[in-house]
Chain A
């Protein structure tokens, strides 16, 4: 025996379902968090590899960091601030009389600082090379290059994300959650870099 249910017997809106109406914009945010979990795991694996490798032989070589690394760090931290400024300006876009220009300026600022970080990292690698420290010179230099190059590649990915966000904003089709997803990724790269710098500073 069957009767028709009216309305659907759902006592409360479950997790995820309330996002349904706007899932186009929620998925990037979830996707970024899931992606960050994978990136965390990758760098955790590299970290454990470094700890094991350091203890496996007496060939660990300590060397001084290129000074430019610290300036690069400042540039990356500053880029996080400019990105936050962009988010704030974007949030008040509807009430702003100046349109998207202030948001775009902050995003371009982030882009420039991000590029400066990557170029600065390249300069650091060049400096190490000039001192005779190559990828295969010592296990410590191997890990230094592996960590910094892979992080720089991830930052370049973030720069591509920023360009995507900027192009969307130019076309006036940027969603707030897309900007949030990009900024979560960017801030994570910032935190990851500080972690890597501390790790390398302690170990190398």
Chain B
């Protein structure tokens, strides 16, 4: 059932541009809070720089901990934008319209945040540029066999592609904003809008660009998280060395990312009063999408766990033992399964739940807590019980610095999206108008049924 109100163009403009042309009441308070948390994050990084990584909880043999877990988590969240934008655009699904830009922006900021973590994680982070092949004089190259070289290539490609995607979809709205503002804002939007006039030729080119970018970014979307997963899978660490990691991480990323988009949509609807634009039918569709995604995630998770115990290899079994029976890993496993699959998917099967904004908000946050824990459950135990040399087994406890950095990363992404919303509308105005034009109703028997035009 679609409950849309037919709005005039002026109403659409006013409703969607309220965040850009005016300032919502909560804006400065939220900005202050987030900047405080960010300050804490910066302090943590400075402390790590000054004193070395000793201030974290890392040791030997657990050399990678919370920061890498967080890195994988944010790369995961960044996958939602492409999933929703490009795949739904290629399938011409109508319900994508309010969701695309917010998801794409979430992608850009979460990816940028994710990229910070491998950087600050390095022992000598000021030498990070050695991973780039720039030294032609001395011919001192990076090692392309290393997954840590594949990582930056993949992430920067994805970041570039996602940014281009956001920009391409922004063009018509930049034209609207240029026409509605004065002074330095007009010049700013004018420069960015590249002379957008909204004539048929420009719309055709923009549509073609959208289709091309959607098609091109899909392989990037699959390969980025696969490459991040191969950071772990090509190593010899038990519980990491599994062939299933690539699609497992990708589908986990989609699961976590789409849930992140649901969370964001709930917040946006309330914060900007967009009740006419973000409607229960969108949450209904997102929930229905999440059911097969979550089930596929569960399939890969089960494959990983079963083959962990397949064959009875002692090095794998000792890690699996730890992950199932020791505290806190056993509890974490139960929480991951309950909060990541059993409760959400059982709930999403019901239309009433999918259309309830409050419930969708809670369920989506539950999913993301579970996915963060799942990354932790995957990464740390394999290092703790690395080999049958039990003398070297150690326990990892995170330090204050790491917890601070994780919290600050959430603040950074939120702050980025918030800052973006001050300059550009988070729902594409032109897409909403296009949806109105294409919207139809037809009479079937005694019912008037909403319909869509297909050529």
Binding between chains A and B: no
Chain B residues with a Cβ under 8 A of chain A: none
Residues in A lying within 8 Å of B, measured CB to CB: none
